Amino acid sequence: QVQLAESGGGLVQAGDSLRLSCAASGRTLSTYAVGWFRQAPGKERKFVAGISWTGSSTYYTDSVKGRFTISRDNAKKMVYLQMNSLKPEDTAVYYCNRNPFLAWGQGTQVTVSS
């Protein structure tokens, strides 16, 4: 059954913003660090941002620092990725997952036009 579900993607223009959401069932994300990853067509899946289970520590790949913000609401069993100042190179399918990893879900498509 589905344990992680990404949503919030879409087609936007460069400079626009999107907020991605990662919804978890039951205990799926409880007490686990969570990360956002992305995969562009023909490319490998790459780490984008991560957050500790308490939300006290966050990590970002260099290309998104200052533009993306990861956050979580454990009471709602949700993890978010606020993406500002989007660039065409941000175009990819975005996935969330925990550490340790579960099976990958379907992700949500983000397309940024020039």
Give the residue carrying structure tokens 């562009």: 40
Residue segments in the chain with a per-residue pLDDT below the cut of 70: 1-2
Give the residue carrying structure tokens 């990819």: 92
Q: Which residues contact 59 (CB under 8 A, 6 or more apart)?
A: 49, 50, 51
pLDDT value, residue 92: 98
pLDDT value, residue 29: 73
pLDDT value, residue 45: 97
pLDDT digits (tens, 9 = 90+) for 4-15: 899 999 999 999
Could you give the CA distance from residue 17 to residue 64 in angstroms, rounded to a whole number?
A: 13
